[in-house]
Structure 1
Amino acid sequence: MLRAGALAAVPALAMGEQTPGLAASRRRPTVFVAGDSTAATYATADHPRAGWGQALPVFLHDGVRVVNEALSGASSKSFYDLGRLDRIRAAIRPGDTLLISFGHNDEKITDPARGTDPWTTFQEHLRLYLDGARAARATPILVTPVERRRFTADGTPYLSHGDYPAAMTALATETGTELIDLTRLSFDLWSRLGPEATKDHLLWLEPGESVNYPDGVQDNTHFQAHGAIEVARLVVANSRGIPGRDRRALCDTDIPDDVLTWPPTRPAEGIEGV
């Protein structure tokens, strides 16, 4: 039963495609994504911006569906309050998987609609996602927030998420939930690449390089296609519970950006943020 405010129409995404209704009968295992703009699926008008949830199917066999409910601007609290968890619970089935990745917008503690405290309300909200998946006999997986591109003037990378990754890690241990430490994994990747090479992963574009960003853009949080693909690789490669992992794709270091597709409109429209 959906709470008041739950949305009626639910996009089902597989490489940008939509099917009519999440609750429809199906046989294929499904990976649901609950998260923020770093994981979201973007539209043609946003190209080459992409989220890691948009790129997940690249590393999964065709027998697995991806339903990317990640929403721009969402925190663990606002995603729940908007009825987005209800919408997943209405569709998730035994044997499915729910990836849960928040933190970027939970850090906005001055915003009462989104901010949470890492050791209290953040963990309390995450428990709602764990309980919702387990009540449906699905598998929840916690994913710490992907790290931002942050370097000091001398090129030294630094962490930006405070206690939120540690709070999620502690909750995973307490509840026996699989954890993908994407904060650490992405930080290690950015550290290896350095300040300049990371610009090819994050949404850094020169003026005139993209018709969608005619004045250029310097975004240290969101990804272009290449970065979304590489972060999705980290997620799938470091999980025991995601079904249908394509080992050949995971070993392919030359996946082209145009393997991704961008739908005409953002499938999970919502508040803008991070």
Structure 2
Amino acid sequence: MKSTKSYLNLILLTTFIIFSSCIILKQQAKPTLFLIGDSTVKNGKGKGDGALWGWGSFIGDLFNSEKINVENNALGGTSSRTFQTNGLWDAVLAKVKKGDFVMMQFGHNDSSPLDDTARARGTIKGIGTERKEIYNPIKKKQEVVYTYGWYLRKFISDIKAKGATPIVCSPIPRNPVKDNAIVLANDSYAGWAEEVAKAEKVDFIPLNQIIKDKYAALSATEVKAFFTEKDHTHTNEAGAKLNAVAVVEGLKKLKNNKLNSYLK
């Protein structure tokens, strides 16, 4: 009797292990869409803390989860520089495999100072090869800082080396409502992101312009409702969902991008 019970328990355990292994293998077999960026892609833990949301928290709902994994690795407060120098990119890149996709959106924090005592996260403006050696007061050591374009090219090069597909997004526009009117200004980082993508011959989603086109068709009151009252950058849930849809709209216009086949 005792041996029979032990035998049944062994069968159940074996079945569970096989079943679990099949699930894990199925997950690993699927490609993954990795998202990297700042708080406008994922704020905090991506749970809407303080009513602040990034579009990366909702874009997964627009993909077929049975065919692709969506992993949001964006982190608030980062720039194209600090996402790399703080080791965040190395951690993501270690998981990237052939056939995966990496979608990036940086720019909001790149205009910060290069060497301030608060964050030291800025990059040199533009997409050239300029470099500047600074003393990083946060890390208490010397650091060579490059241009915004240099860091984007580094992401792209690393992704290609893994046999994955890089997709560059221009940064979402900040709240354009001023004095109860919509003022849609040009964003230098949006233009630089596009220039880098074209030069590197990788797919580009003009997210900044797509969203601005949506805002242009709305009233100031309607647009204001997409943002929190805490600042002029972060979106609430409604704004983040609008931006996620805008990403997919841009994605659908890309020719020959295999990521489209995983959309719902």
TM-score where L is the length of structure 2: 0.73
- The 3 A distance-change label for structure 1 pair 85 and 151 is same
- Quote the residue 2:157 is aligned against: 131
Which of 139, 153, 157 is the matching residue for 2:179? 153
- Quote the residue 2:99 is aligned against: 95
Q: Is the 8 A contact 1:150 1:157 kept in 2?
A: yes
Alpha-carbon distance, 1:38 to partner:
0.1
- Quote the residue 1:40 is aligned against: 42
- Quote the residue 1:15 is aligned against: none
- Quote the residue 2:75 is aligned against: 71
Q: Is the 8 A contact 1:141 1:179 kept in 2?
A: yes
Q: Is the 8 A contact 2:34 2:70 kept in 1?
A: yes
The one-letter amino acid of 1:38's match is: T
Which of 134, 141, 148 is the matching residue for 1:122? 148
Percent of residue pairs identical:
28
- For the pair 1:80 / 2:105, whether they are aligned, the reply is no
Distance (whole Å) between structure 2 residues aligned to residue 27 and residue 89 of structure 1: 17
**Any gaps of 5 or more consecutive residues in structure 1?**
1-23, 204-216, 247-274
Which of 245, 269, 272 is the matching residue for 2:263? 245
The one-letter amino acid of 2:170's match is: T
- The 3 A distance-change label for structure 1 pair 37 and 111 is farther
**Any gaps of 5 or more consecutive residues in structure 2?**
1-25, 129-146
Which one scores higher on RCO, CA 8 angstroms, separation ≥ 6?
Answer: 1
- Quote the residue 1:269 is aligned against: none
Alpha-carbon distance, 1:64 to partner:
1.5
- With 151-160 and 174-183 compared, the bigger mean Cα shift is at 151-160
Q: Is the 8 A contact 2:177 2:223 kept in 1?
A: no
- For the pair 1:224 / 2:224, whether they are aligned, the reply is no
- Quote the residue 2:214 is aligned against: 189
- Quote the residue 1:264 is aligned against: none
The one-letter amino acid of 1:150's match is: P
Q: Is the 8 A contact 1:149 1:190 kept in 2?
A: no
3-state SS in 1 of match to 2:233: strand
- For the pair 1:53 / 2:71, whether they are aligned, the reply is no
Q: Is the 8 A contact 2:35 2:74 kept in 1?
A: yes
Q: Is the 8 A contact 1:93 1:137 kept in 2?
A: yes
Which of 31, 38, 41 is the matching residue for 2:33? 31
Distance (whole Å) between structure 2 residues aligned to residue 28 and residue 71 of structure 1: 24
- Quote the residue 1:236 is aligned against: 248
Q: Is the 8 A contact 1:143 1:180 kept in 2?
A: yes
Distance (whole Å) between structure 2 residues aligned to residue 78 and residue 192 of structure 1: 36
The structure carrying a bigger helix percent of its residues is 2
- For the pair 1:167 / 2:167, whether they are aligned, the reply is no
> Bigger radius of gyration, 1 or 2?
2
Distance (whole Å) between structure 2 residues aligned to residue 45 and residue 66 of structure 1: 18
- The 3 A distance-change label for structure 1 pair 187 and 131 is same
Alpha-carbon distance, 1:94 to partner:
0.8
Q: Is the 8 A contact 2:33 2:101 kept in 1?
A: yes
- With 235-244 and 87-96 compared, the bigger mean Cα shift is at 235-244
User: Number of matched residues?
Assistant: 209
- The 3 A distance-change label for structure 1 pair 38 and 123 is same
The one-letter amino acid of 1:227's match is: G
| Root-mean-square deviation over aligned CA pairs | 2.0
- The 3 A distance-change label for structure 1 pair 150 and 122 is same
3-state SS in 2 of match to 1:86: helix
3-state SS in 2 of match to 1:26: helix
The one-letter amino acid of 1:114's match is: R
Distance (whole Å) between structure 2 residues aligned to residue 165 and residue 111 of structure 1: 23
- With 151-160 and 232-241 compared, the bigger mean Cα shift is at 151-160
